[in-house]
Structure 1
Amino acid sequence: MTHTDYYSSPIGLLEIRAKEDQLLALSFLEEEQKSSVNPSDFTQEVKKQLEEYFSGVRSEFTLALAPQGTEFQEKVWQMLQTIPVGQTTSYLTMARQLGDEKVIRAAASANGKNPIAILIPCHRVIGSDGSLTGYAGGLWRKKWLLEHEQKMLGKPVQASLFE
């Protein structure tokens, strides 16, 4: 059975979809608050950890993730989870880590199809020139998340990333 719940974050409404004790999707919605559809103890835990993240007391999540995608997409999503909080990488670096610079567009596409925002931190991937590029949730959210993580770690915000 799939459980759906909603969390109102500082950067907009998030839809939580879970199956048993695994997170299937965490997506930004551009709508007003929805009522929960079959929430569960697990979706409540997701909301609790999101609240801790947004309040600055949690930088790592301890939730089971179960994103569904192609083998390549899942490989990219696993790679995203290795980017430390407060740090960034580029699409080109990711492509090189995947073994071929030519897969840069495929890596960017997989990044854009990430079904679990924030917890699979695709917001930590930027352009090779340090610019903010593409984010399914909107560049303003990407900027907010990167600045939030910098502040959470007590680091000065790197202004060059956000111009």
Structure 2
Amino acid sequence: MAQLSMHSPVGDLTITEEDGEIISLDWGWIPAEWQSETPLLREAIEQLNDYFDGNRVDFDLPFNPPGTPFQKAVCAAMLKIPGGSTKSYGELAEELDSSAQAVGNACGHNPIPILIPCHRVLAAGREMGGYSGDGGLQTKKWLLALEKALPPQQEELNL
């Protein structure tokens, strides 16, 4: 298992790779002696930097999020939400023949936030809902603003 940290506008991030696939993205910086640069981790950081610079909205990386089969299905559904757009928990629930609450719980356990875009999933009525990443809803709003995907009632907010 290899890990590499980076600075970002939403805080320090650490990406973890296992067997040639990204398995997690966590907020925080790990000690230098725990870090190891691999081609995949370097590519992930380059793509994230492009994203934060406004030059990319989707990622082309191999993911293998740990979790239950349902959590993996929710992650796969989130990956299908194009950059610059959003879906509701209810819409994903319909696609997965599940409940909005179950989808919300799975989104909250997304081990690879930002890269697997749980920030693009909103509550009923296009309300923000929650966000388990560092900074909570402010981070979610910032990411959606970066993608120009804020719901109209949120565009007036000072971010």
**TM-score, structure 2 as length reference:** 0.88
Work out the CA distance in 2 between the residues paired with 1:82 and 1:161.
23
Note the 1:23-42 alignment, pairs <5 A: 23-29=22-28, 34-35=31-32, 37-42=35-40
Q: Which of 32, 42, 45 in structure 2 is aligned with 1:44?
A: 42
Note the 1:90-105 alignment, pairs <5 A: 90-100=88-98, 103-105=99-101
CA apart distance, 1:105 = 1.3
Which ranges of structure 1 fall in alignment gaps of 5 or more residues? none
Tell whether the 8 Å contact from 1:130 to 1:161 is kept in structure 2 after alignment. no
CA apart distance, 1:33 = 6.7
Tell me what 2:12 maps to. 13
SS across alignment from 1:129: helix
SS across alignment from 2:6: strand
Work out the CA distance in 2 between the residues paired with 1:139 and 1:83.
19
- Aligned length, in residue pairs: 153
**TM-score, structure 1 as length reference:** 0.86
Task: Give runs of ≥4 in structure 1 deviating > 6 Å.
Answer: none
The superposition leaves residues 47-93 of structure 1 with CA deviations (integer Å, 9 ceiling, x where unpaired) of: 11111111111222111111111011111110001111111111111
Tell me what 1:75 maps to. 73
Tell whether the 8 Å contact from 1:49 to 1:58 is kept in structure 2 after alignment. yes
Which ranges of structure 2 fall in alignment gaps of 5 or more residues? none
What root-mean-square deviation, in Å, do the aligned CA atoms of Structure 1 and Structure 2 show?
1.8
